[in-house]
Amino acid sequence: MSTELRVLVVDDDFRVANLHAGIVSALPGFTVGATVHSLAEARSAIAAAHYDLTLVDVYLPDGSGVDLVREISCDAMMLTAATESDTVRAALSAGALAYLVKPFDHAALASRLAGYARYRKLLSVPVVTPRDIDAALEALRPAGPSGANSCGSAAVSGSPTKDLVLRAVRDSPEALSAAEVSAATGVSRATAQRYLATLVGIGALRMQLRYGSTGRPEQEYVAVSGGVAAP
């Protein structure tokens, strides 16, 4: 049985939805179950399959994403441009575990997702201690990309393979896909993908999507210098 956390992405803009889905897919332990663009599509997807987490925009063509968060039983995070205080309070009251305001750095979402995975792990046992509860709640509010960058060098230098992957992306004049990193470093594609996801999570790399003329967009990676770059 798969232990990956299954995610539903809900955003009316298909490019933004694909971008968020790409960030989710890049992280170990997560899989995108579906990407939808309206409340109706989200409700149909949730009725048809199980999801652990839903990433929801507020502004949807047929209503508010806050209403969706209020009615679903799985966990949810808001990814939205809505900054009205009433909307923020409504989303948190409805049960949203996080509220990220667009545009945000790719690493910010990766960090929140990594924190969510820790939250789920800490609360995966039948009975938890008060310390477990505190740690789980703290995991939902990670230090963020700036905090990650402060220890990023130590994290990278601690693994020769991670350092090799990072150097390959930094030395390239263009963004690289996992397959291209694999070819440049000699490690397997799966290994390259794992380290690329880690480097995105600590803010050393940024993941973006490469759109071809046909087919699904491909994930590619660029180095971040002097802090986390904006998307």
Concatenated DSSP letters for 10-37? Answer: E-SSHHHHHHHHHHHHHSTTEEEEEEES
Residue of higher predicted confidence among 194 and 21: 21
Report the sign of the C-alpha dihedral through residues 19, 21, 25, 30, in that order.
Answer: positive
Q: What digits encode the pLDDT tens for the residues 161-192? A: 888 999 999 999 999 988 899 899 888 888 88
pLDDT bucket at 225, cuts 50 / 70 / 90: confident
- The fold of the 5-139 domain, in CATH, is Rossmann fold (3.40.50)
pLDDT at 86: 96
Residue of higher predicted confidence among 145 and 114: 114
pLDDT at 101: 92
pLDDT at 228: 40
- The fold of the 146-223 domain, in CATH, is Arc Repressor Mutant, subunit A (1.10.10)
Domain residue ranges in the chain:
5-139, 146-223
pLDDT > 90? residue 93: yes
pLDDT > 70? residue 48: yes
Helix (H, G, I), strand (E, B) or coil at 207: strand
Phi, psi of 177 (to 5 degrees): -85, 170
pLDDT at 23: 86
pLDDT at 226: 52
d(CA 182, CA 192): 6
Phi, psi of 90 (to 5 degrees): -65, -40
Q: What value does the CA radius of gyration of the chain take, rounded to a whole number of Å?
A: 18
Total residues found in the chain within this entry:
231
pLDDT bucket at 91, cuts 50 / 70 / 90: very high
pLDDT at 190: 81
d(CA 20, CA 110): 10
pLDDT > 80? residue 138: yes
Omega of the bond prior to 217 within 30 degrees of 0, cis?
no
pLDDT > 50? residue 32: yes
Would you tell me how many other CB atoms lie within 10 Å of the CB of residue 199?
27
What does pLDDT average to over the chain?
85
